[in-house]
Chain A
């Protein structure tokens, strides 16, 4: 599982894979855990190379979000049509901010940094 990372605020993690499926879901979770910066309040996951995601891959991204500290936010950028569709069909668009491109995600002010106000 190849990732790239740059910056800390926001931290941009790029997934350099074309598929996030059941064959790599566990590896994805592990690599995310190692890559996530505990210092970043906002993390943008760049999915622009991902052509296919299944429910295992979706679960792995949800697990990554749940592994983050309170006050950290995970946004998703560069979703190809089928990836976008999987997130919307499962209503995960209500949990994650979805941006068509990384540029749009970076240009957007953090919309709702959770800042420990949950619950």
Chain B
């Protein structure tokens, strides 16, 4: 790849093949997808933290589709693709649920943690995605939500 440094010749072996899944949009479907993704990622010989972060971000992205895009409908499906691209792993999710409000990705700000009675029990998902990904894009394409998340694979990552 163009920006692989000469001194770090042994880039992560992400030469594993891309993985495509078509899952049912339920928490159990998400679990099954994550198990398949973990198998694929373990063949890519990544460091455990990098692999763990990819699994976490994929989980958060899938949970969002189940809980929001398909919150009012049953039987929805999600097409998931994990595609190694040199220095990053592309995660692509396609679903036919409701579009993002205003066709815009949530900012994912972490709310201040004050007192124990008023602690937030949710709203961490987009924060984690944005914190760990190098790039996140969303578009609506003929009734389909297309979410693309690029996760760092190597040592030139965001200091995670």
Residues of A bordering B, CB below 8 Å: 19, 21-23, 52, 54-56, 58-60, 62-63, 65-66, 81-82, 85-86, 89-92, 94-95, 114, 118-119
Contact = CB atoms under 8 A, between A and B. Distances in A.
A90 B28 contact: no
Given A23-B31, A55-B128, A82-B48, 18 more contacts: A21-B59, A22-B63, A23-B28, A23-B30, A52-B56, A55-B60, A55-B63, A56-B122, A59-B120, A59-B122, A65-B116, A81-B52, A82-B56, A85-B53, A89-B127, A91-B110, A95-B113, A118-B117
Interface of B: 27-28, 30-31, 34, 48-49, 52-53, 55-56, 59-60, 63, 66-67, 110, 113, 115-117, 119-125, 127-128, 131-132
Contacts of B123: 55
A82 B60 contact: no
Contact of A81 (B31, B48, B66, B125): B48
A54 B30 CA distance: 12
Contact of A66 (B119, B131, B132): B119
